[in-house]
Amino acid sequence: MRRSPKDTEASARQITRRALMLGAAQVAFTAVLGLRMRYMQLEQADTFQLLAEENRINIRLIPPARGRILDRNGVLIAGNEQNYRVVITREDAGDLPAALDRLAQVIPLTPEDIDRTLREAARRSAFVPITVADRLRWEDLSAVAMNAPALPGINPEVGLSRVYPLREDFAHVVGYVGPVSESDLAKLENPDPLLQIPRFQIGKIGVETWMEDDLRGQAGTRRIEVNSVGRIMRELDRDEGTAGADVRLTIDAGLQNYVQVRLGEESAAAVVLDLATGDLLAIASSPSFDPNLFVRGISHSDYNALTGNDHRPLANKTVQGVYPPGSTFKMVTALAALEAGVITPATRLSCPGFLESGGRRFHCWKSGGHGRVDLARSLAESCDVYYYDIAQRVGIDKIAEMGRRLGLGLRHDLPMSAIAEGVMPDKAWKAARHGAEWRIGDTINASIGQGYVLTSPLQLAVMTARIATGRAVAPRLVAAVGGVDRPVPEAPPLGLRPEHLAAVQQGMYAVMNQKRGTAFSSRIVEETLALSGKTGTSQVRNISAAERARGVVGNEDLPWNRRDHALFVAYAPAQAPRIAISVVVEHGGGGSTAAAPIARDIILRALTGEMPPLSAYPAAQRNRIETQQRNMKLRPDLVPEAGSSRA
């Protein structure tokens, strides 16, 4: 059927309209596509370039060099050494167990190494390199490099690891570093990305942990090009980051070594303070341990040997250990009584060998008594009854107040781990701690540093420094950070009357330099170096009335752990004090026999800057001292040259 011209014209108009609509849609689509392509090619060019490069370029963090720790003279205490290691990146290695099996055919790997790597890989992102083995020999590192084509995702690296060249001498002060643990990360709100690197080392105890932020530094970065199987092809650029700041301590490494050797195998501690600045010149705990063992991963046998030792080598006795101070506390009681006005230096009291109070007998160490004694003699001969008497007159609260004034019962602010506060008890303390009323017997026991009183060797050294100077000397361990000296705060006066301090100082001088003084045998005969000190012996067991009746068993006849602690505190020179010292020998017996001789040797070394001169000892002791010095195994590089005296 033929269509009419009118129908043909209408159909043509309809086709033309549809064609125009389709053409417009095509033009619009092409325009949108063009605009999108322009946006992606021009405005998003950098983004897509980066996405493309990420297929062949990786960015890795570079751990910074850890800051060094030095002694006051620049001697290296903690540094860094080259460490050859092998790392694996899970996203590049593919089948991780298979990759580790291939690596084990090239270098020695233990099952523990493989298990640890698999555990770390499960906790970390796939792009984070994991250390499989470190401290490798150069030959092992070369073997990994030579077999690189067969070990995708596995790369040899040269890094830095912590090393402690002076080993045992500074273990308790500086501490050691170790790999970041999950508990370490849990303590931080916004952990440094560096800490996410497996086996990255941070400080665990001591200065290493307390100065961590200064020592760590800031991470660097490197961009590397990798091939299709993750093998590193080349390094494109590198930013080394910022090394950690060096930390310089106040300690003299030569003196520290001498103290550590002089303490020997005793379970003991010694603290040496500079009176002018509060600088800790030496702070040693014995026996010690090698911190390098912990950095490298201590074995079970080594760790068990340390924890099973009854002398507790892992404990820092200088600040963690707290002991009844014994008679070294008598200066506190004396100053409290003098300042309260209940006695004068000339007050004489009778000592028949005991004091009865509340139906109980409190004994003096000298069973026959000392007769009538004044303050100076009570200190020189360490009469207990004198202090029992004056303590009842002055009361425990004033004694405790004086103790705190002299630095006892306080936590001194130092970058060391587990610093003990000790116990400086008073009536309120006993009520809060034990829910009991303070009794007169408690005061009597406290007057001679027994009962509830507990102090650390650090606190005893501070107490001695304050008695020697009349100022609130505070201990200081860090001298400089990043080459910038830390200011030395001026020690304010204690506010004690000069005549009272002088009276106590006179008694301490008599301890060392009068024939009846308890430490006369440990005196220094050169007047310009003369000591003022105080011995102390603190009981670790109760002596029953029955034992007293049949005769008290001597320390030498008791098991080691039931013997008394031996203590000694001193300052020198007596007439112009420069150095204060405290020594505690656990279960050493008497302070005059065990602790005082050690302290004398140490303080002579500190004063003279060289091996203690034989001329400073009583003539009858010089042959023995010479033999002792000859047998001391000091570090040769830390032995001062003859004639380097600082006296």
Q: Helices in 264-418 by DSSP H: which ranges?
A: 292-296, 300-307, 330-340, 375-380, 384-394, 396-405
What DSSP line would sit under 482-523, residue for residue?
Answer: TTEEPP-PPPPB----HHHHHHHHHHHHHHHHSTTSTTGGG-
User: Tokens at residue 257, please?
Assistant: 């070594």
Distance of alpha carbon 342 from alpha carbon 390, whole angstroms: 8
User: What is the edge-to-edge ordering of all strands in the sheet holding 232-239?
Assistant: 57-62, 220-226, 232-239
Tell me if residue 327 is catalytic.
yes
Distance of alpha carbon 579 from alpha carbon 567, whole angstroms: 17
Distance of alpha carbon 547 from alpha carbon 363, whole angstroms: 13
What DSSP line would sit under 126-178, residue for residue?
Answer: TTS-EEEE-S--HHHHHHHHHTGGGSTTEEEEEEEEEE-TTGGGGHHHH--EE
Distance of alpha carbon 608 from alpha carbon 59, whole angstroms: 56
Active-site option among 267, 285, 288, 327? 327
Report the C-alpha dihedral over residues 591, 596, 602, 605, rounded to 10 degrees: 180
Comparing CA positions, the residue from 320, 323, 439, 330 lying closest to residue 376 is: 330
> Number of H helices and number of E strands within the chain?
24, 21
Burial class (CB in 10 A: 0-12, 13-18, 19+), 207: buried
User: Tokens at residue 182, please?
Assistant: 């999950």
Distance of alpha carbon 534 from alpha carbon 517, whole angstroms: 9
Active site positions, annotated: 327
